Structures are given as C-alpha cells and as structure tokens.
C-alpha cells in the first residue's frame, strides 16, 4: 500500500483530506504533494484497477450514449490539464520541470524498479511484451474471433486519426505546438529492444553526459505537414541538430536480410512500405536542417565499440 512520504502513514489511498487534516501540516493538497514527491504513489494497485476510468466502465455506469459523452469529456479535460501550458499557468512550471514530471510518471524500467523493487524488472518486461502483443492482428483475432481482423483495421484507422496533429488541433482547439505536446505525452518511453537500450547507455557513457531526448525519456518529435503525420526520433540533440536512429533489423526490415515483398507480421506492412515510411521520416528531419545517422542493430552487435566510437565522433563534429 502507498506510504505518505511526508509523514510515513500507510493507507490504501492518499487523499486530500489526509494532507489537509492528518498529515504534518506542511502540505494541504494532492497537487502540492505530487509537486514535492514526483515519484510518489497515491493509490494501491488493486484499488486503482477497480477505480480505473475507462470508456467501458463509463458506458457500464451511464449507458452507451451518456457514457461515451462523459468519456470524451474526461479525455479532453485530461489532455488539457496534462499540457505544459496548463502546468505553467497553474504552478509556474518551467519546461524542464514539466519534462521531469512526465519522466517520473511514465512507465519505464527505472520507475518500475523504484515503485516495486526487484520485482519491477519482471513487471516491466511483462508490460513491454503485453504492449507489443495487444497491437497485433493475432491478439485481435484471439480476442474477437471472426470479427478480429475488422476490429484490428478499425483500431488502426482510429489510432492514425488520434496521431494526427490537425485532428487534435480541431478536437481540443489548440495550436500546432500544443497538439504536438499532447501527442508527445501519449508516447510511452522505453518501448525499445535490449540492443537499443545497450546502445543508448553505452553512447551516453562514451559522451560523458546524458541526452535529453532518447527512447528512455522523451523522444523528439517533428510534425510532417505534407504527409499529415508525426515522427518520433530515437536520439536527438535539438541544439546540435543531430539525430541518431537505431534501427532494429526485424522492425525496420534490414535490406541486407529481407526482400521488399516481405510482410512484417506485427504491422502487416511489406518491407518496401516500411522503408518508404523510414525514408519520409528521415527526409522530414533533413528538411528541418537536422543531420541524421542510421545505426543498424546487427552492425552494433557485431562491432559495438567501433560503432560507439564512430557515433561519438560524428556527434561531436560541427
């Protein structure tokens, strides 16, 4: 159960009444507590699962029409209160404080270990595998049977809409920057391969400094107006205008290993379609005056020290 980091009290759920009437008196609200202890837990996991707000629970409670309306209102409100503009106006947060806050509450290996100790590693690995599997055609067929493929196609269509900056701008009445920020908040950090994790750690160690935008923290994003899509990049330094893309051999269909008509079982795209997407992604960054370096997983595995040295030299070259 959660432990109040201010007074040491343990209870199923830390609410505002505890901070206002029963705590040390130094904190009077949940917002103040979260500001002071960003990594704190407010509610027991089992209790949180029961109280979780989802579209399904809304519909179960209020019926299809009203439940859907309440769900959309809830989503809209969450998007607003989780934006940098809202946090800056209400709490006076800087961009750095806002990024640190999002980093502390995201589902990452580091945060899982902080919350659950040694068991956090197992929880993290299970989460990653589940995230990958629940987006596959196989999962939808397993869950919905003969309707699985149609639901999977509809899911991907809706998913593509929700990743469209123009759609978000219209839905939430925000500008380009705010819409991109909303998309960035939805992006779950650290869903990457063991090879990429190893590369990022080794690269930062060789540089002697941490990089702000990585797969572990918050990926740098660029909105491609021509193709109406947002691209997220693996490792980015916005001041140096440098980007490193770590391409998994399978996920990006390494041309040395796969033919153009190979069908990727998770995305259901051909290798040619994946290469075309990657080409547009790199072109978008180049058009914004970024320099881009591609690192293939197999190259790094076969020659890790050489690749790291090559990347450090490239990264530090003006």
Q: How do residues 131-154 score in pLDDT, each as one tens digit?
A: 777 878 888 888 888 888 898 888
* 103 or 29, which is more confident: 29
Q: Within 10 A of 14 (CB to CB), how many other CB atoms are there?
A: 24
Specify the pLDDT at position 48.
72
Under the banding of pLDDT at 50, 70 and 90, the label for residue 292 is very high
Is the Cβ–Cβ distance between 187 and 219 less than 8 Å?
yes
The whole-number average pLDDT for the span 178-183 is 76
pTM of the model: 0.52
Q: For the purposes of burial, counting CB atoms within 10 Å of the CB of 268, is it exposed (0-12), middle (13-18) or buried (19 or more)?
A: middle
How are strands ordered across the β-sheet holding 242-247? 235-237, 242-247, 291-296
Specify the pLDDT at position 273.
93
Q: Residue 233's domain spans which residues?
A: 189-318
Among 103-112, 247-256, 272-281, 298-307, whose mean pLDDT is lowest?
Answer: 103-112
pLDDT above 90 for 270: yes
Query: How far, rounded to the nearest angstrom, does the alpha carbon of residue 118 sit from its chain's CA centroid?
Result: 23
Under the banding of pLDDT at 50, 70 and 90, the label for residue 187 is low
Most confident option among 61-65, 69-73, 135-139, 288-292: 288-292
Phi, psi of 234 (to 5 degrees): -70, -55
Specify the pLDDT at position 30.
82
| Tally of structural domains, the chain | 1
Q: Is residue 273 part of a domain?
A: yes
CA distance 166 to 162: 9
Specify the pLDDT at position 31.
79
Q: Is residue 67 part of a domain?
A: no
Q: Is residue 212 part of a domain?
A: yes
Q: Is residue 158 part of a domain?
A: no
Specify the pLDDT at position 243.
97
The whole-number average pLDDT for the span 262-283 is 90
Specify the pLDDT at position 191.
58
Among 80-84, 91-95, 178-182, 266-270, whose mean pLDDT is lowest?
Answer: 178-182
The whole-number average pLDDT for the span 54-64 is 86
CA distance 52 to 46: 10
Give the chain's mean pLDDT.
84
Most confident option among 23-27, 77-81, 151-155, 254-258: 254-258
Specify the pLDDT at position 227.
78
The whole-number average pLDDT for the span 269-285 is 94
CA distance 79 to 102: 13
Specify the pLDDT at position 186.
63
Q: Is residue 316 part of a domain?
A: yes
Q: Is residue 109 part of a domain?
A: no
The whole-number average pLDDT for the span 169-196 is 73
Under the banding of pLDDT at 50, 70 and 90, the label for residue 283 is very high
The whole-number average pLDDT for the span 241-266 is 92
Specify the pLDDT at position 97.
85
Q: Is residue 115 part of a domain?
A: no
Q: What is the DSSP pairing of strand 291-296 with strand 242-247?
A: parallel
Specify the pLDDT at position 284.
94
Q: Is residue 50 part of a domain?
A: no
Strands (E), 177-290: 220-224, 229-233, 235-237, 242-247
CATH of residue 314's domain is 3.40.960
pLDDT digits (tens, 9 = 90+) for 1-46: 788 888 888 888 888 888 888 888 888 888 788 878 877 788 887 7
Percent of the chain with pLDDT over 90: 29
Q: What angle do CA 218, 163, 96 make, to 5 degrees?
A: 25
CA distance 185 to 3: 27
């Amino acid at each position: 159960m959660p432990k109040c980091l201010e007074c040491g009290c343990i209870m199923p759920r830390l609410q505002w009444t505890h901070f206002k009437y029963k705590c040390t008196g130094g904190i009077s609200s949940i917002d103040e507590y979260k500001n002071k202890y960003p990594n704190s837990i407010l509610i027991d996991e089992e209790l949180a699962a029961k109280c979780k707000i989802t579209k399904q629970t809304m519909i179960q409670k209020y019926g299809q029409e009203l439940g859907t309306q309440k769900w959309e209102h809830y989503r809209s409100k969450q998007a607003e209160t989780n934006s940098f503009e809202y946090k800056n106006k209400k709490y006076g947060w800087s961009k750095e404080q806002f990024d640190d806050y999002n980093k502390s509450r995201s589902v990452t290996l580091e945060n899982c270990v902080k919350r659950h100790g040694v068991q956090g590693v197992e929880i993290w690995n299970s989460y990653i595998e589940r995230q990958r599997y629940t987006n596959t055609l196989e999962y939808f067929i397993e869950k919905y049977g003969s309707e699985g493929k149609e639901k999977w196609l509809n899911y991907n269509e809706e998913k593509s809409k929700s990743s469209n900056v123009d759609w978000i701008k219209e839905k939430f009445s925000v500008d380009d920057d705010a819409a991109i920020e909303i998309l960035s908040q939805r992006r779950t950090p650290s869903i990457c391969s063991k090879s990429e994790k190893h590369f990022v750690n080794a690269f930062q160690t060789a540089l002697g400094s941490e990089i702000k935008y990585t797969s572990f923290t918050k990926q740098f994003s660029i909105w491609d107006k021509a193709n109406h899509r947002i691209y997220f990049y693996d490792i980015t330094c916005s001041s140096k205008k440098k980007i490193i893309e770590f391409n998994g051999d399978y996920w990006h269909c390494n041309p040395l290993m796969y033919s153009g008509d190979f069908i990727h079982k998770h995305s259901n795209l051909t290798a040619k379609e994946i290469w075309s997407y990657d080409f547009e992604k790199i072109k978008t960054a180049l058009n914004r005056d970024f320099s881009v370096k591609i690192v293939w997983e197999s190259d790094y595995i076969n020659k890790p020290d050489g690749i790291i040295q090559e990347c450090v030299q490239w990264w530090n070259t003006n």
